Structure 1
Amino acid sequence: MKLTKAYSVVIQIVGWLLFFCVPLLAIPNFEISDTQKLRYLMPSFLVNNLFLVFVFYFNFNFLVPKFIFKHRLYAYFFYISLLILFCLLVNHFVKEYFSLEQEIRNAPPRGFDRNLGHPPPPNSFFGKLFGPILSYFLIVLFSSLIALLSEKIKSDEEKKQIQLEKSAAELSALKLQISPHFLFNTLNNIRWLARKKSDATEDAVVKLATLLRYIIYQTNDEKVALSKEIGHLKDFIGLQKMRISENTQVNFEVIGDIANKTIEPLLFIPFVENAFKFGTNETLESQISIRIEIRGNSLSFLTENNVFENNGTKESESSGLGITNVKQRLNLLYPNAHTLTVTETAGIYKTTLNIKLSDG
């Protein structure tokens, strides 16, 4: 921010120097060589330029924000006209004063041009004011356009910031919804193990503590290492396998190089929860397949499981909450970089998620 302001100050200084110097370079050589003429010309020139600078910043910082931004155009034109008229009058009197002083000091014959030998051509009042009025018009126009452009840029940045904050708030809310949902299901699993008086209950509690530690401390960042997310997924699958019967075969594989890859946390858990919820049965054989495949910066996540109707519908409240949330998160986090496909064929439920990853 400080660097940007410094550049802005430098640009303004250079711009004003060019604005002041270019008219001087356009003065004919004989006037530049005439030091007396230049001496009386410079005060008027400087006063006029100071008024131009004043009008520029006064219009930019006060008149445009106070009147144009609030759609008070008539008041704006009234005050800007008064300001320009005041500057023109003051500059006119300054110019007349120094012109009179020059005439007194170097009084030539009345009505006679000593250089040309005949009276100088008359200079109309309109001719005297045309140049200054044009200068003020351009200054007002230029400063107004810059003020309007700056306001638009500021407004666009504020809208983007609001949208970012809104998206961040939505993502935080979705994470808060996912975590209790996951915790509720896991506690149910531990309760089931405890009811069976299983020796695996203590191990399940330790795994749950590990999972909660990950959720609480690791997922505060926008992204986590893909290797950590996969480790978290393995712990979750291990916890789920403690409660299912030997009739269910679980296959989990990771294909490809996961090094230096990052991903938003807790994207896969709802799909895996869904697979275990509806893909297991106490008496019938079933299979759950979970696969993560990385090719370059493309990640493919696949879950495939049997569907048992007595487990409930796949869109029940308990399972649908996590799936709906992760869909919303994907739309926010990967708006143009993901595809999600859900199919059910011959009693096999399959989800496929493809994501474009960034390097960690």
Structure 2
Amino acid sequence: MLETLIFSRQRRFVLARHLLFWVSWVGFFTYIYAQKFVSYGVDEAYVISLMEALIYLPVHIGFSYALIYGIIPRYLLRARYVEALLTTLVAVLLAALISHFLTNWLVYAMRVYIDMPIPKVPLVTGMMSGLRGSNTVAGFAGTIKLLKYWYQKKQENETLQREKLAAELHLLKAQLHPHFLFNTLNNLYGHIVSGSEHSGGIVLKISDLLRYMLYECGGERVTLAAEVHMLRTYVELEKLRYGPRLDVSLSVTGVESTQVIAPLILLPFVENAFKHGASQSLDQAWISISLEVAGPELRFKVINPIPAPAASTSESGIGLANVQKRLQMLYPGQYTLKTSHEEELFIASLKIRLDAVEVPVTNPALPTYAPA
């Protein structure tokens, strides 16, 4: 309710907060200046102070609204600082001048009427005196205006950042899926051309992977068990492609049904191992994949041999570049990624805190994959 009263643009809320501000200001002005007249009696002091507050109120309202609806939005917020300074000085001088004439005409007449005479003051002295109230209330109103502007801009920037993040993640996934499908469909084509008996099994596995990507990878998180099942399916596809010349070790420990992870965040490392390891090995090829969950931390490591000439290019490609960007956006400060070459070996090691961001799992009503 308070936030609605402060930020709503509906007429009733706008009127309510402005009325509340000016009533509060008149009450504050009445209390402060009544202390000067307590020698005439408490009731009389507050009546005199209230009347003077009402006399000066139009000046305060005019100066404040000129500041918050004219000078600040038209000049200050548009970085037109010279115009802002000049118009503020004009408004200050005008408010001080009007306050001086109100003092000498209305306030003086009121004091004479209630037998509390005060001498008329010179122009400069009267203007300096009038600046106290006008500058105080206008400065307070201007501060509120700027704080509201800063808060609203901050909220807008945060919304834009979230929208930008979502757009970038969507783009990265859109790049990743075709890249993955390109490789797997090439595998299928090779088996069909050669008349392999495994073609039917490959079609079913590709269908399984497509169902996973279409129905479970639409959000920011999926169950870790589903992601592991997808990795196993991918590895089985590659085993069918390479046959007996490929030895793959896949170790998975600590996976539970309550754990969630960003979809397809692990696949590019496995793809990279096959692309730069198994596909370029002329003899027996091997790949080691290990995934371990200990508490909130997931540790994922992929090791594959690479021929010496390919070492400089083993980290290239759409897959790994995209996954690094996604890690930065989805797990800022909550992950560690290391890649290294050791004696014609390429090692990718990733650590992620699975509980870093609490996001509902996408499509919870769909069947949950379980690790084989």
Band of TM-score, shorter chain: 0.7 to 0.9
Unaligned runs of 5+ in 2: 8-16, 360-372
Is the Cα contact below 8 Å between 2:276 and 2:314 reproduced in 1? no
Q: 2 CA distance for matches of 1:17 and 1:44?
A: 10
Match of 1:286 in 2: 285
Match of 2:35 in 1: 26
Match of 1:336 in 2: 333
Match of 1:348 in 2: 345
C-alpha spacing 1:187/1:41, structure 2 compared with 1 (3 Å): closer
SS at match of 1:330: helix
Pairing partner for 1:245 from 235, 243, 246: 243
Q: Per-residue deviation at 1:263?
A: 1.8
Is the Cα contact below 8 Å between 1:247 and 1:283 reproduced in 2? no
Match of 1:116 in 2: none
Per the normalisation by structure 1, the TM-score is 0.80
Is the Cα contact below 8 Å between 1:67 and 1:73 reproduced in 2? yes
Q: 1 CA distance for matches of 2:63 and 2:300?
A: 63
Is the Cα contact below 8 Å between 1:303 and 1:352 reproduced in 2? yes
Match of 2:196 in 1: 198
Q: 1 CA distance for matches of 2:339 and 2:263?
A: 21
Is the Cα contact below 8 Å between 1:307 and 1:349 reproduced in 2? yes
Q: 1 CA distance for matches of 2:27 and 2:297?
A: 53
Q: 2 CA distance for matches of 1:87 and 1:27?
A: 23
1:188-217 Cα shifts (integer Å, max 9, x gaps) = 111122123222211211211221222223
How many residue pairs end up in the alignment? 344
Per the normalisation by structure 2, the TM-score is 0.77
C-alpha spacing 1:284/1:83, structure 2 compared with 1 (3 Å): closer
1:304 aligns with 2:303: yes
Q: 2 CA distance for matches of 1:244 and 1:19?
A: 84
Q: Per-residue deviation at 1:292?
A: 1.0
Match of 1:233 in 2: 231
Q: What percentage of aligned pairs have identical amino acids?
A: 28
Look up the equivalent residue of 1:334 and give its one-letter code: Y
1:50-96 Cα shifts (integer Å, max 9, x gaps) = 43244223312321111222344454344444444554555555552
1:189 aligns with 2:187: yes
Is the Cα contact below 8 Å between 1:252 and 1:289 reproduced in 2? yes
Is the Cα contact below 8 Å between 2:169 and 2:326 reproduced in 1? yes
Look up the equivalent residue of 1:6 and give its one-letter code: L
Unaligned runs of 5+ in 1: 114-119
Look up the equivalent residue of 1:333 and give its one-letter code: L
1:92-137 Cα shifts (integer Å, max 9, x gaps) = 555524643664x66x7xxxx9xxxxxx784533554443211212
Look up the equivalent residue of 2:29 and give its one-letter code: F
Q: 1 CA distance for matches of 2:224 and 2:324?
A: 19
1:128-163 Cα shifts (integer Å, max 9, x gaps) = 444321121223333444444444444444444444
Pairing partner for 2:25 from 16, 31, 50: 16
C-alpha spacing 1:283/1:122, structure 2 compared with 1 (3 Å): closer
C-alpha spacing 1:84/1:194, structure 2 compared with 1 (3 Å): same
Q: 2 CA distance for matches of 1:13 and 1:230?
A: 64
1:357 aligns with 2:354: yes
SS at match of 2:192: helix
Match of 1:70 in 2: 78
Look up the equivalent residue of 2:164 and give its one-letter code: K
SS at match of 2:303: strand
Match of 1:46 in 2: 54
1:269 aligns with 2:278: no
Look up the equivalent residue of 1:294 and give its one-letter code: V
Look up the equivalent residue of 1:65 and give its one-letter code: P
Q: Per-residue deviation at 1:301?
A: 0.6
Is the Cα contact below 8 Å between 2:223 and 2:259 reproduced in 1? yes
Q: 2 CA distance for matches of 1:97 and 1:138?
A: 21
1:246-267 Cα shifts (integer Å, max 9, x gaps) = 2322221221143332222111
Report the structure number with the largest CA radius of gyration: 1
Look up the equivalent residue of 1:42 and give its one-letter code: L
Match of 2:366 in 1: none
Q: Which moved more, 1:52-61 or 1:187-196?
A: 52-61
Is the Cα contact below 8 Å between 2:31 and 2:49 reproduced in 1? no
SS at match of 1:245: helix
C-alpha spacing 1:322/1:305, structure 2 compared with 1 (3 Å): same
Match of 2:135 in 1: 137
Match of 1:255 in 2: 253
SS at match of 2:242: coil
Q: 1 CA distance for matches of 2:272 and 2:290?
A: 15
Look up the equivalent residue of 2:323 and give its one-letter code: V
Aligned-pair RMSD on alpha carbons?
A: 3.5
Match of 1:117 in 2: none
Q: Per-residue deviation at 1:22?
A: 3.1
C-alpha spacing 1:205/1:121, structure 2 compared with 1 (3 Å): closer
Q: Per-residue deviation at 1:353?
A: 0.9
Look up the equivalent residue of 2:326 and give its one-letter code: R
Match of 2:363 in 1: none
Q: 2 CA distance for matches of 1:266 and 1:255?
A: 19
Q: 2 CA distance for matches of 1:92 and 1:283?
A: 97
SS at match of 2:313: coil
Pairing partner for 1:55 from 40, 63, 68: 63
